[in-house]
A and B are shown apart, each in its own frame.
Chain A
């Protein structure tokens, strides 16, 4: 079990690195997907080893997948809108909400 948890922790750390270093908004979204998957691995691992006969962990992972899909949809729509307005999707340049 510890190997699965270690894998999830490494995947989450890699996703964290990607979120912090990417300039491209699509790159940030891809790194977010990595972090979602790390969380999902954790849920399914705990469900398998400590969940008894229950399925709650897998159902939560299922709901996370759906929420991640919705998040990707909205995020990419916003990225396209930013691209249309700024001719670029550099996340550092989009600062009109900052003052």
Chain B
């Protein structure tokens, strides 16, 4: 594990550049379909960040659920609302200046706070290697109730989406 340490900074920089560039494309491109593709790139980069942070299971979940499911869902919606995706129409509203200023203030303020209170440790303790096994055990013991609640929420969302999208044909 120590042999790969010197490269972590470079890999992190690469992933960070990919994420920030793709995220900027997501919020600025005019064609919604291209935005969805940029979102896929961005979320894959976040999966890479999770691998760097030794959260391999979460990286796999990220690829499966976000890249595999949510992005496909978004692309389907973009295609179903096709008259908005195909034409090159203005996709932003009038408060772009104000919004840009506000998010610049937020981002700059957050960075400044991070810089001012530099109490963050450089390296963390080693996490257990059997990532998946630990998470599985925790889900079945300590986090049983949240797990069941989230399952019910997922089921409710599924049924709700079907009922909403079916329309009034019944």
Check B103–A14 contact: CB distance below 8 A: yes
Check B93–A23 contact: CB distance below 8 A: yes
Check B74–A40 contact: CB distance below 8 A: no
Secondary structure at chain A's binding surface: helix, strand, loop or mixed? helix
Check B27–A70 contact: CB distance below 8 A: no
Check A62–B157 contact: CB distance below 8 A: no
A-B pair number, CB within 8 angstroms:
232
Interface assignment of B139: CB less than 8 Å from any CB of chain A: yes
Check A67–B153 contact: CB distance below 8 A: yes
Within 8 A of B (CB), among A1-29: 1-7, 9-18, 20-24, 26-27, 29
Q: Whole-angstrom distance from the CB of A26 to the nearest CB of chain B?
A: 6
**Measured CA separation A69–B154 after assembly (Å):** 8
Q: Mark B121-132, 1 if CB is under 8 A from A, else 0.
A: 111110110010
Interface assignment of A76: CB less than 8 Å from any CB of chain B: yes
Total count of chain A residues near the partner, CB < 8 A: 69
Residues of A within 8 A of B90 (CB): 23
**Measured CA separation A41–B160 after assembly (Å):** 29
Residues of B within 8 A of A15 (CB): 23, 27
Could you say which of A31, A41, A47 contacts B26, with CB atoms under 8 Å apart? A31
Check A48–B124 contact: CB distance below 8 A: yes
Q: Whole-angstrom distance from the CB of A49 to the nearest CB of chain B?
A: 4
Residues of A within 8 A of B138 (CB): 55, 59
**Measured CA separation A99–B152 after assembly (Å):** 35
Residues of A within 8 A of B14 (CB): none
Please give the residue numbers on chain A whose beta carbons come within 8 Å of chain B beta carbons, in ascending order: 1-7, 9-18, 20-24, 26-27, 29-31, 33-34, 37, 40-41, 44-45, 47-53, 55, 58-59, 61-63, 65-74, 76-81, 83-84, 87-89, 92
Given A44-B58, A77-B162, 15 other A-B residues pairs in contact with their CB atoms under 8 A: A17-B99, A20-B98, A27-B35, A31-B26, A31-B27, A41-B46, A45-B53, A48-B124, A50-B121, A53-B127, A67-B153, A69-B70, A78-B164, A80-B80, A80-B165
Q: Which 4 pairs across A and B sit closest by C-beta, in order of nearness?
A: A13-B107, A18-B27, A20-B99, A70-B157
